[in-house]
Structure 1
């Protein structure tokens, strides 16, 4: 079973992280002298945890990028992921300055990944029928992740995994002995 989120964030900490993501986007369009380097001394922002930045324009998804393992501190990953979500998510048009007032930022802070030992896809589907975690599927050639929030759009385990595999570049019916399944929880919050 996945661990609980690795950071138990206060309301003030959540607001600070959201402000960092938004300020990064504001600075992109109207460069300021924000000193992001000084943030690396902050105990919260120096944490190495997985994180996703998700952007909504008028309530609709308009970009989402993440770092699953948390290779960098939040002070570096949040600004980079905010920019990637705004400008490099190929599913959406790049963000425009005129859209900033209609933009909502959501952050998801991930728990450590926990491997689920299963025999086959049927066992995974039975497990997911009872447990609604974030899922990472990987094998030698592909990797794909869905945050736990995706269960709201894809509530059936079969549909959830089928779409996760399609997102990762596998055929919807693909399964192999090399398939690795990792689970995680998130603490997600938005402006």
Structure 2
């Protein structure tokens, strides 16, 4: 999947389609009628996405794929269902709260290795508001989307919280830590 929307596509129409796919997938569980979805060839190409659900600006679920392994439309639908009903941090979404839940879809670029000499090098080279980051260490792995920079502006805070998410101490560093970074294009519904 290309990291940029081809110029022949309307970014708004493409993003609206991804949002509708996500909302339709969740709404189907509650027997809500599906919204019409435009047909873009890109929907059939393998892509990695995250679907984030919020209520009044607070996280309500977020699940995604780090590697492209299924068609974009299927990835968005599957991640929407998982964010609504399988995020272990939250109880399953209820029908009554679905109508006030805001949907966001993030389309990831392929992750690229981000080799660093040490933690100081990583902190110096991280790009706030641009980089999504994957941290791996001996079977542990965690990621933060670039959107997380909105609440963790300092690279030190961003990396420390990512280590905690991976089950590591905030001040942990080891030569075997592996980092990869990616960017996203994102679309979100208007506040509900």
TM-score range, shorter chain: 0.7 to 0.9
Q: 1:39-93 CA deviation, whole Å, 9 max, x = no partner?
A: 9x95121121221000012332100001011111112111110011001112122
The 5 Å alignment of 1:40-189 reads: 43-128=41-126, 132-189=130-187
Q: 1:139-177 CA deviation, whole Å, 9 max, x = no partner?
A: 221111000110010001111101000001112122222
Distance 2:109 2:127 in 1: 21
1:14 corresponds in structure 2 to: 15
TM-score by length of 1: 0.88
Structure number having the greater helix percentage:
1
Equivalent position SS for 1:102:
coil
Equivalent position SS for 1:171:
coil
Q: 1:33 to 1:135 in 2, by over 3 A?
A: closer
Q: Is the 8 A contact 1:115 1:182 kept in 2?
A: yes
Q: 1:71 to 1:61 in 2, by over 3 A?
A: same
Distance 1:131 1:62 in 2: 21
TM-score by length of 2: 0.87
For these two proteins, the number of residue pairs brought into alignment is 183
Q: Is the 8 A contact 1:165 1:172 kept in 2?
A: yes
* Aligned alpha-carbon RMSD (Å): 2.2
Q: Is the 8 A contact 1:6 1:49 kept in 2?
A: no
Relative contact order, higher structure (CA 8 A, sep 6+): 1
Q: 1:14 to 1:70 in 2, by over 3 A?
A: same
- What are the ranges of 5 or more consecutive residues in structure 2 without an aligned counterpart? none
Distance 2:90 2:164 in 1: 18
- What are the ranges of 5 or more consecutive residues in structure 1 without an aligned counterpart? none
Distance 2:53 2:178 in 1: 29
